[in-house]
Structure 1
């Protein structure tokens, strides 16, 4: 799209006409040189043919018009493009152990499917922030590094599968991996800008690092941890069989959040999980703002070059006459 940066320069367009009306005509000054053959040269037919003041005036008008066009700074504006911003750094650690396949959430979906739907919306709402994704079970894996590309982080979450990282649950190792990644990429805005949201449905039964020790290291590193326990409430079923999530270690999750300055939440269904992420949004609002820019290409050089080219024949015409 063509854009004029200084359109008010168009007001200069009638300036030559105004000067010709307001200023008196110039008069020759000083002694004149007498040439006895000047009358004969002036009467030559070849020179008279070249003497066309209207054509020269047209050239001068085009020169001035080109100069005014260049002064208005014509520009070509490209398509709007986003500018990466650095807001809060937020890591999501999602449990993909075998127990996440339990279908005790509303709607007949398993726990991981509900987490993918709700957490995906949470990621997409973190405009301006950097979001990373850790998937953990027997071992933790960094599925998506910290990035401002929220669509990519959300897509990696949707591609997560149960059992891809093992069958057990290593909560402490997941926190340890988050600490390592954050140390490898130190924050520029301060320690309070780093948050880990850890979601699990079980207790720590794998890994080399105990969860509470990992929580202390996280607190020393300035990493605030919010923990979420998912799964239906445990209770008695038919024939005395237990139903719901009886493996969840809520006490450990509460201590992790307390040590690091975060909070613990319980999500028994999709609506409760949405409320949890909404609450985290309130506690840790997105600090970044969407910024956009349009690449600009300056075009003033073209009318300026045209004015230079037209001024040459105008000057040569004057000297030839």
Structure 2
């Protein structure tokens, strides 16, 4: 959602060349193998279906989520849907049918199923709350709505650790243009909260890495992705800026991670996603087909669990769409983009 340092490899390449100099043709072969798969290339996504049209009440539509439910449905939220319209939708990808799962509440900017209780958790950016639903969309409950360190959250995306504790990208300060964003941890029962990182530039995407050793999080107005090492009790063990995104007019949005640890980063302001290796190599840019009109942002993605088909949420004046492409590795829990 809008409210919502590429690590340079040149030095590594030079080092590799120096180490291999004098090896004749072996040098070129070794360099070719070392750089295979690290070149940024374009991957064309294909339209699956249109889910929404711009709402007269809000003047726009903005799809987010998406996440696969236990029944195989793809759950998607519409951030700008007015009260009474589908704010949370379940999509049967096999036949393209769409069911309204929830029509009440504020501006839901993400959706995730908890590994602890199996419920669907939504971040309500407008209300500053985390809400949970039964998998079928019923039994709505306010899970967390308290101030954290004296400030009420503006929660954007959510990630779960293996025990079901929540890690929230808090975009606090975005509307004022101030770097007051945070990464917040909430215990799985909602009774405890802690700020893990602060003074951030509109925190947006958040996802664990493939091994659950740390969190990737993006900052919308700084176009960068940082890494937080996370210990066994949820404590921060390290922190550094990991990737600087060359987005041009676009800004870093949500993050999903595949089984090989690759990062899929949504771009707000451009209907595309940037794909990075865990070492910071930009390995691909996923684009809608050339000439496609009326689409402005690709906010998020979910990769089929155990498969490689990725479903990207794309929105603009033309409406809210699902596009698909082949991911670089299989989908896991972290492959649901917040």
Bigger radius of gyration among the two: 1
More helix by share: 1
The TM-score bracket by the shorter chain reads: under 0.3
Q: TM-score, normalised by structure 2?
A: 0.25
More strand by share: 2
Higher RCO structure (Cα 8 Å, ≥6 apart) = 1
